[in-house]
Structure 1
Amino acid sequence: MSFDFIVRGGMVVDGSGSAAYRADVAVAGGRIVEVGALPNADCPELDAEGCVVAPGFINVLSHAYETLQQDPKGLSDLYQGVTTEVFGEGYSLGPVTGRCEEIVDLAPRSDGVRMGWPRLNDFLGHVEMKGIGPNVASFVGAHNLRAAFAGADDRPLTAAELEGACRLLADELAAGALGVGSALLYMPGVYASTEELIAYARVLAEHDALYISHIRNEAGGLHQAIDEVITIARASSARAEIYHLKASGRDNWPLMAGAVSMINDARDDGLALTADIYPYEAGGTSLAASIPPWYHDGGEEALLGRLATPSIRDEIKTAIKTSSDSWENIFLDAGGAEGVLLQGDPNSEVSGRTLAEVSVMRGDADTVDTLLNLVVAKPDLEAAYFCMTDENIHMALRQPWVSICSDAETPSTQSPFVDMPTHPRAYGSFARVLGPYVREGVLSLEEAVRRMTSLPAENLRLSGRGSIEIGAWADLAIFEPDAVQDHATYRDPHNYATGMRHVVINGRIALRDNEPTGILSGRAVRRGQ
């Protein structure tokens, strides 16, 4: 048999969790065709001596749908061995139809980037046709389903609207969508009731698709929010996953052990419940997310109108400063202004400074006034919220049902990204687990690889991905285990990880000897296909 190339002399960690073994891997026609001690052959070779040869990594929660349109190589993840990006936390690039068009503009921006298509499959087909580095797959955003009928309004869907949303979902699932992704902290997803989500999950169960959720509260209401996911899974018989499992806020850190126990108990009861995490002590989202969700009713313009009304602005200030069980107060969870690091344009006066530092710099008497003034000036201003603890990250990583995500874009260290605010997780999530966390003994190397490969491939029903075996797609991450290291920091995030020698995507070499080749061999990947 002729081969396109052989990966020669590495230690294979096949994604199953089994012990590493020395073997060569032969690739032909985009697939793995032989694994073992292979004789010399008349074909090119990739030197893997001193390296681990693993399946390419699957990023369960990626926001690279914009950056990959700007630069399809996806370099921040390519340097970490990621070969598949999965979208759809709350919002997806399709379907954008009906009243959802009030929120999302279907027209391309001046730089050619589009943020919406009439159907999700239209987006996936478009990026594959244009050429893309990694494989891409997506959930249907629960935002999209409700916004198609209710826009940004804070109200329940009518029975007819919910039926229409379920039909829209069924069409997308038939075309290969992975399931439904909800984000219950953000507008308009926050307005969805448990009953609405159960209705979607019942459709998912019919298609063996996954319900995945940024749960309603990751802080003081963590256990109640996990109970909602369990209720949805039990009522619908759908499989479910929790995005970026965490206990947010110092006072809530002790809740993590109970959260893990709840999930383990549900699994013991027969529910297919899993989770993923990013390995950082700070989360990242907009500064506007510090404002209670009911003030976002009607969208950004309505929020800014409320902030311009003195009496309502005072209400908002009081709400931000007050603990409440009715919403997740990420400002207080971060310990206040000292725990909020602003991530604007590096040349701006606020970038890389805490909210407290900016407040002093501006001479504001109240840090919440500073927060609101910044939101008015730039509603999409990003921030890192230091809400988590490394001990809880370790606890989550030790659970065999937890996979890895970045919850981030795929920028590069070149224009137009070098001035883009981002979280270090965009450049370091997978390298941080595979390198420091493995070397510190939090996970074995084999188990770390399983969490990034076969576990998410099985949960997402990505056929032929996530393993090194004959017939599987040739997505490969070939790395020097002692050299894998993340280098991105909160104040200087645009730094590539190191230690990855080669990366192969669908049988084509995307990274050779730590240098991108520019080959775009990614595909649109659909559930079960």
Structure 2
Amino acid sequence: MADHDLVIRGGTVHDGLGSPPRAADVAIRDGLIVAVGDVTGAGKREIDARGKIVTPGFVDIHTHYDGQVTWEERLMPSSGHGVTTVVMGNCGVGFAPCRPHQRDMLVKLMEGVEDIPEVVMVDGLPWNWESFPDYLDALDERRLDIDIAAQIPHSALRIYVMGERAARREAPTADDLAKMRALVAEGIDAGAFGVTTSRNMMHRTKAGELAPSLHSDVDELCALMDGLTDADAGVFQIIPAPDGDAGVEFDVLRTVAEHGRRPLSFTLLDVAGQPGGGWRHMLAGLERAAADGVEMRGQVAPRPVGMFFGLDLSLHLFSCHPSYRAIAHLPLAERVARMHDPDFRRRLLSEQPEDSNPVTLNLVAAFRATCPWGDTPQYEPAREDRVESLAAAAGRSLEDYSYDLLLGDEGHAVFYLPAANYSGGNLDSVREMLGHPNTVMGLADGGAHYGLICDASFPTYLLQRWARDARDDQRLPLPLAIAELTSKAAATVGMADRGRIAEGWKADINVIDLDALRLHVPRVAYDLPAGGKRMQQASDGYVATIVSGEITYLDGEHTGALPGRLVRRSRAQPLERAA
């Protein structure tokens, strides 16, 4: 008779705390780790991990699976990259609380901010909730491949309390602020992990209307923080204005953090030309805050915050040209055929882009700085790899040259734009921010930006680029890289039951062939509700992923197991440790 449900044999075990690894077996029973060391008892199932590393399951604290989790059991792409817990509801956008007549407002907001097609949400969302506690109750019924945790989104909250006034740039009344404060406390008491908001002016509906949270003054942000204080729990997550003065933005962040004395995390980016000292000012501000006992942490992306373009994706150079918009609804093959017609080409190239949303126009114009990809990801391109440089070298206009490139691979050609975190044409700033005591790796955005961004692969990239392949003077030690993905991430949002390999801790575990770890180029799949499309990015090297003691993925293939559940804040506290 087996002594354990599962035993992982002979791997190099990383505890998730950054300690030196050790050769050990790991035994699991009833969803908990019950032994780490020389395990003599047998398991009902066993995994041979010799030559492999064994890590805690990864905790991704910045995702947008708020909708996808209601219609899908597998939270891809994240669950394909060793992630066993995701935290959603970031950036102030989500679907609860929401009155029935306000649903369209939240859908249009999510469509614009997170690039999720409206038809996907209309077809996929069951809307079997109104309040935030209702939403959590609905999620409690879901059975998934990984665990999920939720945060309260400010824009949804503002619309719920203020209705149309929230979108009309009206200031909240004292009564509005009191209601928002009470609803935050109610959501935290029901199991939310925090409240989230955004000051990023790029966050707009598809038509260009600003997200409701962007109209908020500091007193409104402090009212949200008061809700956390009232509940005596939860984290405040915020995106500062990336083009705003770094000094002004950090002062806002610190004011809110000091006001409630609750932990605050925020997006920390290297944005080219940001006034006020940019990311360096914010990193120094984090150090001062820590010295003063103010708990703040910057979320850092491990590579450029990049965007993909192409005919089969959300945007490309001609997305806003009238002639292209007239055929945009057609299947890709038909669009490609039309674009091969000389008369269509001539007409389109004579046009100028048109759109009511300035962000969309700016993104389309940024195509000139994209780099075409082949069969291998290239996240650190040189300037001469840009489309505009290639066009100039060929003696052709940007538009004429790009037209032919977009038709490559029968219209499946992919173009990458390294935006933030690449101002110097390298990742030196990322390395300085990454692994800092007051930062944590984040911002993977799984569940959003289906046709524009594919960063759910951040965990794989971090291990591959920074822990395995970096030159010696830039390498992030493997134990510390794993801590970024596990215990440090869990601690940032107040999860105290996962992120470690130790007796009595939740049995969320990865077995990884580090030498084989490799990312593939993202591919488009039409597998969303209503036939919607999204990018999926596969990887090699994940031997096994385990959630609550059940093997969910073996060699990248889903086993069919769905042990993932909603994690309420009260359930993410220390479990009874095994003897």
Q: Same fold (TM over 0.5)?
A: yes
Which residue in the other structure is 2:272 paired with?
A: 249
Match of 2:170 among 155, 178, 181: 155
1:48 corresponds to 2:43: no
Given residue 523 of structure 1, which amino acid in structure 2 is its aligned partner?
Answer: R
Which residue in the other structure is 2:320 paired with?
A: none
Which residue in the other structure is 2:376 paired with?
A: none
The 1:92/1:112 distance shift into structure 2, 3 A limit, reads: closer
Which residue in the other structure is 1:129 paired with?
A: 141
Which residue in the other structure is 1:360 paired with?
A: 399
Which residue in the other structure is 1:236 paired with?
A: 260
Given residue 480 of structure 1, which amino acid in structure 2 is its aligned partner?
Answer: D
Match of 1:196 among 220, 243, 257: 220
- Which blocks of at least 5 consecutive residues in structure 2 are unaligned? 109-118, 204-210, 309-313, 316-352, 373-385, 392-396, 404-414, 526-534, 572-579
The 1:157/1:421 distance shift into structure 2, 3 A limit, reads: same
1:523 corresponds to 2:562: no
Match of 2:299 among 276, 284, 287: 276
Matches of 1:446 and 1:202 in 2, distance apart?
Answer: 37
Most deviating of 249-258 and 122-131: 249-258
For residues 106-185 of structure 1, the aligned pairs below 5 Å read: 111-114=123-126, 117-151=129-163, 152-185=167-200
Q: Residue 39 of structure 1: CA displacement? A: 0.9
Structure having the higher Rg = 2
The 1:77/1:23 distance shift into structure 2, 3 A limit, reads: same
Matches of 1:400 and 1:61 in 2, distance apart?
Answer: 19
Report Cα offsets for 1:12-45 as digits up to 9, x if no partner: 1111111111111111111111111111425321
Match of 2:459 among 423, 427, 430: 430
For residues 384-395 of structure 1, the aligned pairs below 5 Å read: 386-389=419-422, 390-395=427-432
Matches of 2:278 and 2:144 in 1, distance apart?
Answer: 41
Matches of 1:238 and 1:141 in 2, distance apart?
Answer: 17
1:62 corresponds to 2:63: yes
The normalised TM-score by structure 1 is 0.77
Matches of 1:341 and 1:97 in 2, distance apart?
Answer: 44
Matches of 1:363 and 1:396 in 2, distance apart?
Answer: 35
Q: Residue 482 of structure 1: CA displacement? A: 2.1
Match of 1:210 among 229, 235, 248: 235
Q: Is the 8 A contact 1:24 1:36 kept in 2?
A: yes
Q: Is the 8 A contact 2:467 2:476 kept in 1?
A: yes
For residues 123-522 of structure 1, the aligned pairs below 5 Å read: 123-151=135-163, 152-185=167-200, 186=203, 187-206=211-230, 207-215=232-240, 217-243=241-267, 245-250=268-273, 255-283=278-306, 336=366, 338-339=368-369, 360=399, 386-389=419-422, 390-410=427-447, 421-426=451-456, 428-439=457-468, 440=470, 441-488=474-521, 494-522=536-564
The 1:74/1:337 distance shift into structure 2, 3 A limit, reads: closer
Matches of 1:253 and 1:42 in 2, distance apart?
Answer: 58
Q: Is the 8 A contact 2:96 2:157 kept in 1?
A: no
- Which blocks of at least 5 consecutive residues in structure 1 are unaligned? 288-312, 321-328, 343-352, 365-381, 412-416
Matches of 1:421 and 1:355 in 2, distance apart?
Answer: 22
Q: Residue 424 of structure 1: CA displacement? A: 3.0
Matches of 1:136 and 1:37 in 2, distance apart?
Answer: 32
Q: Residue 433 of structure 2 aligns to a residue in which SS? A: helix
Matches of 1:134 and 1:483 in 2, distance apart?
Answer: 23
Q: Residue 137 of structure 1 aligns to a residue in which SS? A: strand
**Count of residue pairs brought into register by the alignment:** 459
CA RMSD in angstroms comes to 3.8
Q: Is the 8 A contact 1:95 1:116 kept in 2?
A: no
Matches of 2:463 and 2:261 in 1, distance apart?
Answer: 34
Q: Is the 8 A contact 1:33 1:470 kept in 2?
A: yes
Matches of 1:525 and 1:129 in 2, distance apart?
Answer: 12
Q: Is the 8 A contact 2:188 2:233 kept in 1?
A: no
Most deviating of 278-287 and 331-340: 331-340
Q: Residue 160 of structure 1 aligns to a residue in which SS? A: helix
The 1:242/1:235 distance shift into structure 2, 3 A limit, reads: same
Matches of 1:88 and 1:386 in 2, distance apart?
Answer: 24
Most deviating of 188-197 and 246-255: 246-255
The 1:130/1:314 distance shift into structure 2, 3 A limit, reads: closer
The 1:339/1:158 distance shift into structure 2, 3 A limit, reads: farther
Matches of 2:253 and 2:371 in 1, distance apart?
Answer: 31
Q: Residue 421 of structure 1 aligns to a residue in which SS? A: coil
Which residue in the other structure is 1:349 paired with?
A: none
Q: Residue 430 of structure 1: CA displacement? A: 0.7
The 1:220/1:166 distance shift into structure 2, 3 A limit, reads: closer
Q: Is the 8 A contact 1:58 1:85 kept in 2?
A: yes
Q: Is the 8 A contact 2:498 2:506 kept in 1?
A: yes
Given residue 423 of structure 1, which amino acid in structure 2 is its aligned partner?
Answer: I
The 1:451/1:421 distance shift into structure 2, 3 A limit, reads: same
Matches of 2:543 and 2:86 in 1, distance apart?
Answer: 20
Matches of 2:491 and 2:286 in 1, distance apart?
Answer: 18
The normalised TM-score by structure 2 is 0.71
Which residue in the other structure is 1:294 paired with?
A: none
Given residue 227 of structure 2, which amino acid in structure 1 is its aligned partner?
Answer: V
Most deviating of 146-155 and 464-473: 146-155
Matches of 1:156 and 1:195 in 2, distance apart?
Answer: 10
Matches of 1:402 and 1:410 in 2, distance apart?
Answer: 23
Q: Residue 475 of structure 1: CA displacement? A: 0.6
